[in-house]
Structure 1
């Protein structure tokens, strides 16, 4: 891997509202540092680490830590990756950004911005089990090549419950979603009893959307929309 996964970063203009939303689902806060000069919080279920950033940024973004960033940047440039928004210096928080073939933003920072909580058991959330970060990708080959070059492993496309290709790593699983129903990335959660979980969310007045592939039964699958616009795909699992 070119770096260690840190968080999925999202712009949350009303950060207190977003924080309350995720905590109501069962996520817990992680202690954060002072890397950013604006409000910043991290919520986690022990698998997903979601960074809520109070200042405008490209969102959502996948953020990785690369301790010797200058050396890492040289490696990325040798791979033909075009860097953007590069910030290096003794008086700044060193970071760089680039994009994958689909336009997904990837951030690389030189140090951690929070401390992962120590869990005896992972928190149980209303969403179920976080399985992957879903990327809309009609063109599969460029995406597979790009992420495999960065150390991920791409698997064969699975047709059910919709066409998707898993691209896995030790700390973050991505998936390419080949469906016109997905127009932006989603955080995908799975559970055998998702129908019951959706019923609880509806009772609480949560905003659910049925903007999914037609192959998904809306009685036991849905998209939950967070206050800042992040989309959580809640899938009925077969296992």
Structure 2
């Protein structure tokens, strides 16, 4: 599906508010992520790291939390179409004299942003996986996966996987990004999931640099969760949890929050 024909365009980055860019950059680079060359679009401090599969945008400004950011080359036209379909924009900047961008929330208050052009150069094709392993999903916490899917299905019409037990988990192709909708009580915010084959290397790096981590965090059988300085959670798995049928003991209950608004 081409960028123009996809409602979201093409996935660009997992964007996250980052109070200390240098500290977060150091964390990711020690894990083996590559820092990418950025453009001059944003007025705030900005950096991007990548493992060749997932790009993480570090923003000292603009975002209060995290966002899924997509590029749509005909954003002005797409914004008009979305307005006709009653999308409730958190912000909308569409004009010939500005960098076009918009943002809106899903029903669980997860932020989605769309911009008119890339803000950094692509990673080299030869970029290797980080020590975290191979990224396979960006997971969003939702109260009701089926209800959340009603919002996401028009934006990401290709359902990749569906699991109903022990908790509902749905995986969509969101403009070439693997997007998970999870009812897990252990997931406290948008997070990144990796299939890690070298636990020893991860342990060595943790011991050497004192990274913040938790063993067996209770999310989908992950053997470890690493917390980046800006708060991003990186969950490490032996294998893709939708490819195995084991039971999962979940922990870390989170407070109830109101669902997002209907379209």
The 1:98–1:40 alpha-carbon spacing in structure 2 relative to 1, beyond 3 Å, is same
* Aligned residue in 1 for 2:179: 174
Kindly indicate whether residue 81 of structure 2 is the aligned counterpart of residue 79 of structure 1. no
Partners of 1:191 and 1:235 within 8 A in 2 = yes
Query: What is the CA–CA distance in structure 2 between the aligned matches of 1:32 and 1:82, rounded to whole Å?
Result: 30
For residue 163 of structure 1, report the CA deviation from its aligned partner.
Answer: 4.6
For residue 49 of structure 1, report the CA deviation from its aligned partner.
Answer: 0.6
Query: What is the CA–CA distance in structure 1 between the aligned matches of 2:104 and 2:62, rounded to whole Å?
Result: 17
RMSD, aligned α-carbons: 2.1
The TM-score, its normalising length taken from structure 2, stands at: 0.81
SS of corresponding position for 1:156: strand
Partners of 1:182 and 1:212 within 8 A in 2 = no
* Aligned residue in 2 for 1:7: 13
What runs of 5+ residues in structure 1 fail to find an aligned partner?
Answer: none
Query: What is the CA–CA distance in structure 2 between the aligned matches of 1:69 and 1:149, rounded to whole Å?
Result: 17
* Aligned residue in 2 for 1:203: 207
SS of corresponding position for 2:91: strand
Query: What is the CA–CA distance in structure 2 between the aligned matches of 1:124 and 1:148, rounded to whole Å?
Result: 30
Q: How does 1:72-221 map to 2 (within 5 A)?
A: 72-119=78-125, 121-154=126-159, 155-157=161-163, 159=165, 163-169=168-174, 171-193=176-198, 195-204=199-208, 205-210=210-215, 212-213=217-218, 216=221, 221=223
Query: What is the CA–CA distance in structure 2 between the aligned matches of 1:237 and 1:29, rounded to whole Å?
Result: 26
SS of corresponding position for 1:40: strand
What runs of 5+ residues in structure 2 fail to find an aligned partner?
Answer: 1-5, 244-263
